[in-house]
Structure 1
C-alpha cells in the first residue's frame, strides 16, 4: 500500500532515458501526474509526451510559466542542470533534479544560494537513498547492529563503449565516471559515516585513468574521516566488478548486494551469528520513493529534504571537484 501523497503536477525538462523511468514512477504515486514536457529536440519531447500524455513546450520559459506545472523534474545532461534549476527557482517552481545536482561545486553553491533566496524547494534526485534496502541499512547502523563503522568498501564498474560524443565521455557535457556514477559511492559513504555522528571526510587519496576526451574513465579513491573511518571505492566505465558495497563495523558487516545503487537485497552478518538477508523489492521501479519524499516536503512548505539535505549535496560537489582537479579533468565551461 503506497502512502498518501498530496497531488502534484510535474513538468519535466530533458525527456531522455532516466526521464522515462521518472514518468513511469509517477503513474503509481497517488495524485501525481506529468502535465508538461520540454526538451531541446522537439521531436523527442513530442514522442515522449505521446507515451505519457502531457503538453509539449518548445521553450523552457513556457513550461515554467505553465499554470498546470506545480513542480519541475530536471533530467538533462549534467552540464545543463544549473541553468534549468536556476530558471525554475526564479519562476518559483520547486525542483527535483537528477544526480549530480550540477556539474561543479561553484554551480552547486550558486543554485543552493538561489533556492534559499527564493525560498523554493530544491533536492538532488539521488533515488537510491530512499530505497527500502538503503533505508534498512541506515536503520541497522543507527541501531548499532554492527557497532561503530570503520570501513565502507564498494565498486561501481561498467564496461561501456567509448563514444566521444556521448554525455558520458564529452567534457562539454560534464562527462566522466566520477560525476555520472561516482556520486552514488561518495554520497553513500558520506551518509553511512555521518549516521554515527561524524562530519565530512578530512582527506582523500585518488588515482585514475582518463579517456581520450580527457574525462575520468576509471578511478580508485579512499576517503578518510577523523577518528579513523575510511571509505574505499573503485569506479569506472572500463571494466566489470561485483558492484556490491560492504559496510564493516566493530561487530559485523552489512552488505548492499549487487548492484548496490539499485539493490533489493541487504545482508546483516554479525560476528558469530547466522547471516540475515532481507529481500526488499521496489513497489514499482524504485523512483516512486524519491518522488514521494519530495512531494511531502513541497506540500509541507519545506525548502529541502532532511534525508537528502543540500549541505550534503554541496559537500559531495566540493569533494568531486577536488578529485577531478587532482586527476587532471577540466570542463570547458569552468
Structure 2
C-alpha cells in the first residue's frame, strides 16, 4: 500500500529474495498504482478493498504517509493479511496496541518495518555486546539528522501527515537502544519547534540501572549519523549512516572511541581514525540493495512459522518507543528552530 520512494526501494529489494514477489500495489490514484505496477510486474489498484481481496496478496507492506499507517494496518489485518508497517508504525502508542491486539485475535503477523534492527552490522553489534566483548554497557550516543528546508507542503513539517523529526528519524536511535538495552527506567528530553509546530529537532535521554543513552534527531542539519556504545572494556561504533550501517568498529579504549565520535566525520577526522592503532579493528558488513530485504525475509519466516509477532522487532518495543516520543513532545518546546 503506497507507491512512493520507500515503496520503490522495498519493491526493488524484494527482487533479492527468490521466494518473494510483488503481487499488487495500491495507490491513491489508479495512474499512480499503474505506474508503480508497470515497473515491477504487479496488479494495480486504487480501491483498497479490492486490493486486499486479491487472493494473490499474501502479505501487505504499508508504505504510505505516517498518519495513514495505523488505519491501513488494521484494514489489512481485518482482511486476513499479515502486515509489515513502515515506521513509525503509528503516531501514538495506543494505536500500536490496537494493531497488536488485532493481530493476536486473528492469528496474523504484524511488525513495524524498523529495518535497521535486521541489518548484519546491527546483529553483529548486539551479539558482541551480549558476548561481553565491551564489558558492561555504560553509555550510548547517537544522532540521526538530515537537513530539510521548511517548505510549504513538505510532509516532514506537516502535522496532519505525521511530520516531525522524532517520528521520521528519532524512532531509529530510540528503537536500536531498546533493542540493545531493553526498556529504560526513565526517559526525558526536549524538542525545538519548526514553524508548522512539529519538532524540528528532538533530544532524548534514557536512564538505565548502569547506563545512559543520549540520542538526538533533527531536520535542522546534516548530522554525524553514527551510533556509539561504550562499555567498561571497550566500545562499538556503527558507521554513518547507522540506520543502514555496513561497518562496525571495535575499540578496546572506550575513551578513544568517544573522542573519535566527538571529532565528527570531517576529512581530517576520517584520516586520523584510519591510522592503525592497537586495540582497534573494523568489520565490513556489506549487502546488496538498500537493506530492506532483511526485514522482508523476517516477515516471510515468521508467517510460515505461524507467528503473530517478531522477536527481533516486537510491537511492544514499537509501542515503548512511541511512549517515549509522546512523553517528550507533550512538553512545551525548548525553543523555535
Same fold (TM over 0.5): yes
Higher helix share: 2
**Pairwise CA RMSD of aligned residues?**
1.4
Q: Does structure 2 retain, via aligned residues, the 8 Å contact 1:206–1:327?
A: no
- State the partner residue of 1:86: 74
Aligned-pair CA distance for 1:221: 1.8
State yes or no: 1:254 paired with 2:259: no
- State the partner residue of 2:227: 245
Q: Does structure 2 retain, via aligned residues, the 8 Å contact 1:164–1:213?
A: no
Q: Does structure 2 retain, via aligned residues, the 8 Å contact 1:14–1:39?
A: yes
Q: With structure 2 as the length reference, what TM-score do the two structures score?
A: 0.89
The count of corresponding residues between Structure 1 and Structure 2 is 311
Distance of 1:282 and 1:181 partners within structure 2? 22
* Aligned equivalent of 2:294, options 267, 289, 293: 289
* Aligned equivalent of 2:26, options 38, 42, 56: 38
State yes or no: 1:161 paired with 2:149: yes
State yes or no: 1:205 paired with 2:188: yes
Distance of 2:119 and 2:239 partners within structure 1? 13
State yes or no: 1:276 paired with 2:276: no
SS at match of 1:326: coil
Distance of 1:208 and 1:320 partners within structure 2? 10
Q: Does structure 2 retain, via aligned residues, the 8 Å contact 1:15–1:37?
A: yes
Task: Between 297-306 and 105-114, report the one with greater CA deviation.
Answer: 105-114
Aligned-pair CA distance for 1:327: 4.4
SS at match of 1:153: strand
Aligned-pair CA distance for 1:283: 3.2
Where has structure 1 moved over 3 Å in runs of 4 or more? none
* Aligned equivalent of 1:267, options 216, 237, 249: 249
Q: Does structure 1 retain, via aligned residues, the 8 Å contact 2:191–2:328?
A: no
* Aligned equivalent of 1:58, options 37, 42, 46: 46
* Aligned equivalent of 1:137, options 115, 120, 125: 125
Distance of 2:188 and 2:83 partners within structure 1? 33
Task: Between 277-286 and 30-39, report the one with greater CA deviation.
Answer: 277-286
* Aligned equivalent of 1:323, options 309, 319, 328: 328
Aligned-pair CA distance for 1:164: 3.4
- State the partner residue of 2:263: none
Aligned-pair CA distance for 1:73: 0.4
Distance 1:185 1:70, change over 3 A: same
Map of 1:197-236 to 2, 5 A cutoff?
Answer: 200-225=183-208, 227-236=209-218
Q: Structure 2: 5+ residue runs without aligned partners?
A: 254-276
- State the partner residue of 2:262: none
- State the partner residue of 1:172: 160
Distance of 1:258 and 1:188 partners within structure 2? 14
Q: Does structure 2 retain, via aligned residues, the 8 Å contact 1:216–1:327?
A: no
- State the partner residue of 2:61: 73
Distance 1:328 1:242, change over 3 A: closer
Q: Structure 1: 5+ residue runs without aligned partners?
A: 1-12, 195-199, 330-334
